[in-house]
A and B are shown apart, each in its own frame.
Chain A
Amino acid sequence: NAGVTQTPKFQVLKTGQSMTLQCAQDMNHNSMYWYRQDPGMGLRLIYYSASEGTTDKGEVPNGYNVSRLNKREFSLRLESAAPSQTSVYFCASSEEGGNQPQHFGDGTRLSIL
């Protein structure tokens, strides 16, 4: 039982390049989330998907797009990477309904030069 799997684990991009971060969960959860974590700051919500077929903006959505491909998979895309998007990105999932404990992957460490 893998839980939440994120790929890749590490990536270095040049400014202006595009990239898609992948996330898959095997817990049959309805809700999925993307966060970024920067030094000295709490996790900040980028986008979430309350259930398959829906996505909504979080606190810091600018510069990102998401796709809920199916119940298992939720991807995050950077169309034109900027140095300010250097961060650690975490995907999480939870049972439906909000206010549920979230299960996190181990993150993608992304550096943009």
Chain B
Amino acid sequence: SQKIEQNSEALNIQEGKTATLTCNYTNYSPAYLQWYRQDPGRGPVFLLLIRENEKEKRKERLKVTFDTTLKQSLFHITASQPADSATYLCALDGAGGFKTIFGAGTRLFVKA
């Protein structure tokens, strides 16, 4: 069955450093990959979408890579701030599909 793996252990980093979160998947060939942010008690908020033919995408301090050979996406937050502390979800989509598959998320703590 299709499976998405995100590190279940929380990631703790110091303010100003780069946070790198990993999303691995198996038994799936997604056409699109998305990253969302979720704060406690709130719904997920869309951050970035990357297509299978794109290697990298950037938005302000955020960078996403998508390696379809390794079946992996990396999500980077540069110059991290305490306000970046949240859970980050990886999500996969097939082409033209509505049945998005979400990972369980990785909790990020940025210490001042």
Contact = CB atoms under 8 A, between A and B. Distances in A.
Contacts of A101: 34, 46, 49
Given A33-B98, A59-B99, A103 B46 contact: yes
Interface in A59-113: 59, 90, 92, 97-99, 101-107
A50 B104 CA distance: 24
Contacts of B43: 4, 90, 92, 104-107
Contact of A99 (B8, B46, B89, B93): B93
Contact of A45 (B4, B8, B95, B99): B99
Interface string A4-47: 10000000000000000000000000010101000011111100
A32 to B, nearest CB: 10
Contacts of A99: 31-32, 49, 93, 95-97
B45 A106 contact: no
Interface in B30-89: 31-32, 34, 41-46, 49, 89
B31 A40 contact: no
Contacts of B105: 42
B44 A45 contact: no
B102 A42 contact: yes
A3 to B, nearest CB: 9
B21 to A, nearest CB: 14
A42 B4 contact: yes
Given A106-B42, A107-B43, 7 more contacts: A40-B104, A45-B99, A45-B100, A58-B99, A98-B96, A99-B49, A99-B95
Interface of A: 4, 31, 33, 35, 40-45, 48, 50, 56, 58-59, 90, 92, 97-99, 101-107
